[in-house]
Amino acid sequence: MEKQQTPFGFHKLIFILLILLSVSMSALGRDILSDIIELKIESHIASGGNFDSVTVELPNLTGKTLAKVIEYCKKHEESSEKTGELSEKWDGEFIGGVEVGMLMDLFLAGYELKIKGLNDLAASRIGGMMLGKTPEEIRVIFDIKEDPLCKKSKSPKEGERFARDNPWAFQ
């Protein structure tokens, strides 16, 4: 039986490795992505597992997100090989047009694959979207359903009762 809880089976691993190869086994790719994969295979074999059935837990990335992650890694590999100069401008353009859902995915990918730069970049962009915003505006941006208890009550009495039962909303 196939394990259902892990998003990537062995054929997916091969797929990832192929992508990594296409990133020319980049320093960044090798250091980060494949290290994780190797470690997981090693620990799998060490614990007596069969190599045929190895599964690697990677964050549940969509192809689109993975492509973006690889684009990021590729660029940073290039710029660090050349001069090591800061690619802040590139980073800004890379993250600039990304919509919220994808930003969250990129943050998660950076977090789980331990690509600190990407993690920080996505986090600061997400944070930037909250700067100077009211709670209502933040709810809209992040598609957070207003807590039903939070809605403005029609009569003042209800409001009072709500305030009494939910002091957190008014502090």
Partner 1 sequence: MELPDLIMMDILSRLPAKSIFSCRRVCKSWRNILLDPHFAKLHLSRAPVDFLLKSEGTVFLAELDEESCISNSDVHLGRKSLMSCKTCNGINIGLKEIELCSSCEGMLCVRRSKRWSPYHVYNPITGEHVVVQQTVRASFMPIDCALGFSRRANEFKVMRFLVVTQSRTIVKGLEVDIQTVGSNSWRSIGETPYWPHLSSISSPFLNGALHWICYAAQMILSFDFDEEHFQPIPTPSQHFDNFYHTVGLGSLEGRLCMCYHKPHSTDPLDIWVMNNYGVKESWTKQFVIDKIIDAFPFQPIRYMNNGEILVLCGHHAAICYNPLRRSSRYIKFDSSKSTIFALPHIPSFIKLQK
14 vs 140 by CB, closer to partner 1: 140
Give the residue, chosen from 19, 54, 66, 108, that forms a contact with partner 1 under the rule CB under 8 A. Answer: 108
Give the residue, chosen from 128, 159, 163, 165, that forms a contact with partner 1 under the rule CB under 8 A. Answer: 128
The token duo for 70 is 């690889």
Q: Which amino acid is at 10?
A: F
**SS3 at position 116:** helix
49 touches partner 1 by CB under 8 A? no
As a whole number of angstroms, the distance between CA 73 and CA 86 comes to 14
90 touches partner 1 by CB under 8 A? no
Return the H-helix or E-strand segment holding 2: none
18 touches partner 1 by CB under 8 A? no
126 touches partner 1 by CB under 8 A? yes
Q: What binding mask, one character per residue, do residues 69-88 give for partner 1 by CB under 8 A, x or -?
A: -----------------x-x
What burial class does residue 162 get, using C-beta atoms within 10 Å of its C-beta: 0-12 exposed, 13-18 middle, 19+ buried? middle
